[in-house]
Amino acid sequence: MSIISFPEDVWVSGAGLEDIFTRAHFTILNSRRLKFDIAPGTKILIDAAVIFLSLLNQLVYDGKAIILDFTSQDSNVMGYLDRMGFFDNLDTNITVLPARPAFSKAKIFGRSNLSVVEIAAIDFADYDELPSRLADALENKCKKLSKASFTIFGELIDNVFEHSSTDLRAFAALQAYKNGVKVIVSDSGEGLLETLRPQLPKKYAKCSDIDVILQAFENGLSRFGEDSGRGCGLATCAQKAVQYHGNLEVRLSTSRVNLLPSSGNGYTPNTAYCYSHLLPIRGTHISFDFPLDE
Instruction: Assign residue 188 the CATH number of its domain.
Output: 3.30.565.10
pLDDT tier at 54 (50, 70, 90 boundaries)? very high
pLDDT band at 285 (very low <50, low <70, confident <90, very high): very high
Domain assignment of residue 66, given as a range: 1-110
Same domain as 145, residue 21: no
208 confidence band (pLDDT: 50, 70, 90): confident
Confidence label for 222 from pLDDT (cuts 50, 70 and 90): low
pLDDT tier, 230 (very low <50, low <70, confident <90, very high otherwise): very low
* Pair 287, 247: CB distance under 8 Å: no
Query: Are residues 59 and 123 located together in one domain of the fold?
Result: no
For residue 197, what is the DSSP state? G
pLDDT > 90? residue 144? no
Are residue 159 and residue 275 in the same domain, yes or no?
yes
**Residue finishing a domain among 110, 129, 151:** 110
| Shared-domain flag, residues 42 and 185 | no
pLDDT of residue 293: 61
Provide the pLDDT for residue 127. Answer: 63
At which of 70, 89, 110 does a domain end?
110
Listed in sequence order, the DSSP H helices in the chain are 14-23, 25-30, 46-61, 76-83, 86-89, 105-109, 129-141, 149-163, 192-196, 209-219, 234-242
Q: How confident is the model at residue 243 (pLDDT cuts 50, 70, 90)?
A: confident
Same domain, 90 and 118: no
Q: What are the Cα distances from residue 34, in Å, to 54, 60, 93, 103, 219? A: 15, 10, 13, 26, 41
Residue 131, pLDDT > 70, answer yes
Mean residue pLDDT across the chain? 84
Range with the lowest mean pLDDT among 5-14, 25-34, 50-59? Answer: 5-14
Looking at the fold, whether 106 and 140 belong to one and the same domain comes out as no
220 and 189 housed in the same domain: yes
More confident residue, 205 or 256: 256
- At residue 227, does pLDDT exceed 60? no
Of 26-30, 42-46, 152-156, 158-162, the one with minimum mean pLDDT is 158-162
Res. 228: pLDDT tops 70:
no
Number of structural domains (the chain) is: 2
SS3 label, residue 167: coil
Q: How confident is the model at residue 294 (pLDDT cuts 50, 70, 90)?
A: low
Instruction: State the pLDDT confidence band at 224, using cuts at 50, 70 and 90.
Output: very low
**How far, CA to CA in Å, does 199 sit from each of 48, 192, 229?**
31, 12, 14
**264 shares its domain with 289:** yes
- The residue from 55, 83, 110 where one domain ends is 110
For residue 260, how many other CB atoms are within 10 A of its CB? 16
Eight-state DSSP code of residue 25: H
Same domain, 51 and 89: yes
| Same-domain pairing of 138 and 284 | yes
Q: What per-residue confidence (pLDDT) applies to 126?
A: 63
Three-state SS string over 109-162 comes to: HCCCCCCEEEEEEECHHHCCHHHHHHHHHHHHHCHHHCCCHHHHHHHHHHHHHH
Query: What's the chain's length in residues?
Result: 294
CA distances from 24 to 17, 106, 255 (A): 11, 30, 16
CB within 8 A of 266, min separation 6: which ones? 218, 238, 239, 242
Please compute the mean of the pLDDT values over residues 206-231 and round it to a whole number: 64
- Mean pLDDT value of segment 84-93: 97
- Of 17-31, 107-121, 201-215, 276-290, where does mean pLDDT reach its minimum? 201-215
What span, in angstroms and rounded, lies between the C-alpha atoms of 54 and 186?
Answer: 7
- Identify whether residues 56 and 171 lie together within a single domain: no
33 vs 143, which has greater pLDDT?
33
Q: In terms of Cα–Cα distance, which of 249, 260, 258 is closest to 285?
A: 249
